[in-house]
Structure 1
Protein backbone atom coordinates (compact mmCIF):
# COMPACT_ATOMS: atom_id res chain seq x y z
CA UNK A 1 0.00 0.00 0.00
CA UNK A 2 1.42 3.39 -0.96
CA UNK A 3 1.95 6.06 1.65
CA UNK A 4 -0.70 8.22 0.00
CA UNK A 5 -3.29 5.44 0.09
CA UNK A 6 -2.42 4.73 3.71
CA UNK A 7 -2.75 8.44 4.53
CA UNK A 8 -6.17 8.66 2.87
CA UNK A 9 -7.37 5.53 4.63
CA UNK A 10 -6.32 6.93 8.01
CA UNK A 11 -7.89 10.26 7.14
CA UNK A 12 -11.21 8.54 6.40
CA UNK A 13 -11.04 6.58 9.66
CA UNK A 14 -10.37 9.80 11.57
CA UNK A 15 -13.32 11.53 9.89
CA UNK A 16 -15.59 8.58 10.79
CA UNK A 17 -14.41 8.67 14.42
CA UNK A 18 -14.95 12.42 14.61
CA UNK A 19 -18.47 12.02 13.27
CA UNK A 20 -19.16 9.31 15.86
CA UNK A 21 -17.77 11.55 18.60
CA UNK A 22 -20.06 14.41 17.53
CA UNK A 23 -23.09 12.13 17.54
CA UNK A 24 -22.17 10.91 21.04
CA UNK A 25 -21.87 14.50 22.28
CA UNK A 26 -25.51 15.09 21.40
CA UNK A 27 -26.66 11.87 23.15
CA UNK A 28 -28.77 12.79 26.19
CA UNK A 29 -27.93 9.55 27.99
CA UNK A 30 -24.23 10.31 27.75
CA UNK A 31 -24.80 13.85 28.99
CA UNK A 32 -26.65 12.51 32.03
CA UNK A 33 -23.84 10.04 32.78
CA UNK A 34 -21.20 12.76 32.49
CA UNK A 35 -23.22 15.08 34.75
CA UNK A 36 -23.65 12.28 37.31
CA UNK A 37 -19.93 11.50 37.28
CA UNK A 38 -18.92 15.13 37.76
CA UNK A 39 -21.40 15.58 40.63
CA UNK A 40 -20.27 12.32 42.23
CA UNK A 41 -16.60 13.29 42.02
CA UNK A 42 -17.40 16.74 43.48
CA UNK A 43 -19.30 15.10 46.33
CA UNK A 44 -16.45 12.67 46.99
CA UNK A 45 -14.00 15.57 47.07
CA UNK A 46 -16.25 17.57 49.39
CA UNK A 47 -16.30 14.76 51.97
CA UNK A 48 -12.73 13.58 51.35
CA UNK A 49 -13.74 10.12 50.21
CA UNK A 50 -12.33 7.99 47.41
CA UNK A 51 -14.18 5.49 45.26
CA UNK A 52 -12.62 2.67 47.31
CA UNK A 53 -14.05 4.19 50.51
CA UNK A 54 -17.54 4.30 48.99
CA UNK A 55 -17.28 0.72 47.73
CA UNK A 56 -16.17 -0.44 51.18
CA UNK A 57 -19.10 1.42 52.74
CA UNK A 58 -21.66 -0.08 50.37
CA UNK A 59 -20.15 -3.57 50.13
CA UNK A 60 -17.60 -4.34 52.88
CA UNK A 61 -16.86 -7.82 51.49
CA UNK A 62 -16.04 -6.60 47.97
CA UNK A 63 -12.28 -6.48 48.56
CA UNK A 64 -12.19 -9.89 50.22
CA UNK A 65 -13.95 -11.81 47.46
CA UNK A 66 -11.89 -13.74 44.96
CA UNK A 67 -12.43 -12.63 41.36
CA UNK A 68 -14.53 -15.02 39.29
CA UNK A 69 -11.67 -15.87 36.93
CA UNK A 70 -9.43 -16.99 39.79
CA UNK A 71 -12.08 -19.14 41.43
CA UNK A 72 -12.72 -20.97 38.17
CA UNK A 73 -9.04 -21.61 37.49
CA UNK A 74 -8.55 -23.11 40.96
CA UNK A 75 -11.18 -25.76 40.22
CA UNK A 76 -9.26 -27.03 37.21
CA UNK A 77 -7.42 -30.23 37.95
CA UNK A 78 -3.65 -30.14 37.50
CA UNK A 79 -2.17 -31.70 34.40
CA UNK A 80 -0.55 -35.08 34.74
CA UNK A 81 3.11 -35.58 33.95
CA UNK A 82 3.66 -37.62 30.79
CA UNK A 83 6.90 -39.50 30.28
CA UNK A 84 8.09 -40.26 26.76
CA UNK A 85 11.07 -42.54 26.09
CA UNK A 86 12.71 -42.49 22.67
CA UNK A 87 13.58 -46.10 21.83
CA UNK A 88 16.19 -44.98 19.28
CA UNK A 89 18.30 -42.83 21.60
CA UNK A 90 17.02 -43.88 25.04
CA UNK A 91 16.35 -40.21 25.85
CA UNK A 92 13.51 -39.56 28.31
CA UNK A 93 11.26 -36.46 28.29
CA UNK A 94 8.90 -35.58 31.14
CA UNK A 95 6.26 -32.95 30.34
CA UNK A 96 2.81 -31.80 31.39
CA UNK A 97 1.93 -30.37 27.99
CA UNK A 98 2.77 -30.74 24.34
CA UNK A 99 4.88 -27.58 24.14
CA UNK A 100 8.18 -29.27 24.97
CA UNK A 101 11.07 -28.50 22.61
CA UNK A 102 12.45 -32.04 22.37
CA UNK A 103 8.96 -33.52 22.08
CA UNK A 104 8.19 -31.18 19.18
CA UNK A 105 11.43 -32.17 17.45
CA UNK A 106 10.59 -35.85 17.84
CA UNK A 107 7.09 -35.33 16.46
CA UNK A 108 8.50 -33.47 13.46
CA UNK A 109 11.08 -36.19 12.81
CA UNK A 110 9.14 -39.38 13.61
CA UNK A 111 5.49 -38.30 13.44
CA UNK A 112 3.01 -37.56 16.22
CA UNK A 113 1.46 -41.05 16.29
CA UNK A 114 4.86 -42.72 16.64
CA UNK A 115 5.93 -40.39 19.43
CA UNK A 116 2.63 -40.90 21.28
CA UNK A 117 3.32 -44.65 21.22
CA UNK A 118 6.49 -43.94 23.24
CA UNK A 119 4.37 -42.73 26.18
CA UNK A 120 5.31 -44.70 29.30
CA UNK A 121 3.22 -42.94 32.01
Structure 2
Protein backbone atom coordinates (compact mmCIF):
# COMPACT_ATOMS: atom_id res chain seq x y z
CA UNK A 1 0.00 0.00 0.00
CA UNK A 2 1.40 3.38 -0.92
CA UNK A 3 1.75 6.14 1.60
CA UNK A 4 -0.91 8.15 -0.19
CA UNK A 5 -3.40 5.28 -0.11
CA UNK A 6 -2.68 4.65 3.58
CA UNK A 7 -3.12 8.37 4.30
CA UNK A 8 -6.49 8.47 2.54
CA UNK A 9 -7.66 5.29 4.30
CA UNK A 10 -6.72 6.70 7.71
CA UNK A 11 -8.32 10.03 6.87
CA UNK A 12 -11.58 8.27 5.95
CA UNK A 13 -11.48 6.24 9.18
CA UNK A 14 -10.87 9.40 11.19
CA UNK A 15 -13.82 11.13 9.53
CA UNK A 16 -16.06 8.17 10.32
CA UNK A 17 -14.90 8.15 13.96
CA UNK A 18 -15.47 11.88 14.29
CA UNK A 19 -18.99 11.42 12.96
CA UNK A 20 -19.62 8.67 15.54
CA UNK A 21 -18.22 10.92 18.29
CA UNK A 22 -20.57 13.75 17.30
CA UNK A 23 -23.51 11.35 17.33
CA UNK A 24 -22.55 10.20 20.84
CA UNK A 25 -22.20 13.78 22.09
CA UNK A 26 -25.85 14.36 21.20
CA UNK A 27 -27.08 11.09 22.74
CA UNK A 28 -29.36 11.73 25.72
CA UNK A 29 -28.55 8.37 27.31
CA UNK A 30 -24.82 9.17 27.28
CA UNK A 31 -25.50 12.59 28.78
CA UNK A 32 -27.48 11.01 31.62
CA UNK A 33 -24.68 8.47 32.28
CA UNK A 34 -22.07 11.24 32.37
CA UNK A 35 -24.24 13.30 34.71
CA UNK A 36 -24.71 10.28 36.98
CA UNK A 37 -20.95 9.62 37.05
CA UNK A 38 -20.21 13.26 37.95
CA UNK A 39 -22.75 13.21 40.80
CA UNK A 40 -21.50 9.84 42.06
CA UNK A 41 -17.87 11.02 42.09
CA UNK A 42 -18.93 14.19 43.93
CA UNK A 43 -20.72 12.10 46.55
CA UNK A 44 -17.72 9.80 46.87
CA UNK A 45 -15.47 12.81 47.48
CA UNK A 46 -17.94 14.39 49.91
CA UNK A 47 -18.17 11.27 52.06
CA UNK A 48 -14.59 10.07 51.52
CA UNK A 49 -15.70 6.72 50.15
CA UNK A 50 -13.77 4.75 47.55
CA UNK A 51 -15.24 2.83 44.65
CA UNK A 52 -14.28 -0.48 46.33
CA UNK A 53 -16.18 0.55 49.45
CA UNK A 54 -19.27 1.39 47.40
CA UNK A 55 -19.13 -1.98 45.69
CA UNK A 56 -18.75 -3.68 49.08
CA UNK A 57 -21.77 -1.75 50.38
CA UNK A 58 -23.96 -2.54 47.37
CA UNK A 59 -22.79 -6.15 46.89
CA UNK A 60 -21.58 -7.56 50.21
CA UNK A 61 -21.28 -11.11 48.80
CA UNK A 62 -17.88 -12.63 49.42
CA UNK A 63 -15.34 -11.60 46.85
CA UNK A 64 -13.95 -14.08 44.39
CA UNK A 65 -10.79 -15.94 45.27
CA UNK A 66 -8.02 -13.46 45.91
CA UNK A 67 -4.80 -14.71 44.45
CA UNK A 68 -1.34 -14.07 45.76
CA UNK A 69 0.57 -11.39 43.88
CA UNK A 70 2.43 -12.93 40.99
CA UNK A 71 0.22 -16.03 40.82
CA UNK A 72 -1.85 -16.26 37.67
CA UNK A 73 -3.50 -19.63 38.10
CA UNK A 74 -5.37 -21.32 40.90
CA UNK A 75 -3.33 -23.84 42.87
CA UNK A 76 -3.47 -27.42 41.64
CA UNK A 77 -5.31 -30.04 43.67
CA UNK A 78 -3.48 -33.04 45.04
CA UNK A 79 -4.36 -36.24 43.19
CA UNK A 80 -3.96 -39.58 44.93
CA UNK A 81 -3.36 -42.75 42.92
CA UNK A 82 -3.39 -46.19 44.53
CA UNK A 83 -1.85 -49.14 42.66
CA UNK A 84 -4.17 -52.14 43.22
CA UNK A 85 -1.38 -54.56 42.33
CA UNK A 86 1.17 -53.38 44.90
CA UNK A 87 -0.92 -51.22 47.24
CA UNK A 88 1.52 -48.35 46.72
CA UNK A 89 0.05 -44.83 46.98
CA UNK A 90 1.29 -41.77 45.06
CA UNK A 91 0.22 -38.19 45.80
CA UNK A 92 0.93 -35.65 43.07
CA UNK A 93 -0.18 -32.23 41.87
CA UNK A 94 1.04 -32.76 38.33
CA UNK A 95 1.41 -35.51 35.76
CA UNK A 96 5.22 -35.65 35.73
CA UNK A 97 5.61 -37.85 38.80
CA UNK A 98 8.36 -40.45 38.29
CA UNK A 99 6.47 -43.40 39.81
CA UNK A 100 3.23 -42.42 38.10
CA UNK A 101 5.04 -42.28 34.76
CA UNK A 102 6.51 -45.75 35.34
CA UNK A 103 3.05 -47.12 36.15
CA UNK A 104 1.60 -45.60 32.99
CA UNK A 105 4.38 -47.17 30.96
CA UNK A 106 3.85 -50.56 32.60
CA UNK A 107 0.03 -50.71 32.88
CA UNK A 108 -1.16 -48.10 30.38
CA UNK A 109 -2.40 -44.56 30.97
CA UNK A 110 -6.12 -45.43 30.98
CA UNK A 111 -5.73 -48.08 33.66
CA UNK A 112 -3.55 -45.85 35.85
CA UNK A 113 -6.04 -43.00 35.49
CA UNK A 114 -8.74 -45.34 36.81
CA UNK A 115 -6.72 -45.69 40.04
CA UNK A 116 -7.38 -42.05 40.95
CA UNK A 117 -8.91 -41.95 44.44
Whole-angstrom distance in 2 between the partners of 1:79 and 1:25: 55
The TM-score with structure 2 as length reference comes to: 0.56
Equivalent position of 1:65 in the other structure: 64
Deviations 1:40-96 (A, max 9, x none): 00010010111101111122234x3239xx78xx79x98856xxxxxxxxxxxx8xx
Question: After the TM superposition, which residues 1-121 of structure 1 pair with which residues of structure 2 at under 5 Å, given as runs?
Answer: 1-62=1-62, 64-66=63-65, 80=95, 120=105
| Structure 1 unpaired stretches of 5+ | 82-93, 95-119
TM-score by length of 1: 0.54
CA distance in 2, matches of 1:50, 1:11: 41
CA–CA separation in structure 1 for the residues paired with 2:26 and 2:58: 33
For structure 2, which runs of at least 5 residues remain unmatched after alignment?
67-72, 80-92, 110-117
Structure 1 Cα separation of the partners of residues 28 and 7 of structure 2: 34
Give the Cα separation in 2 of the matches to 1:79 and 1:33.
49
RMSD: 3.3
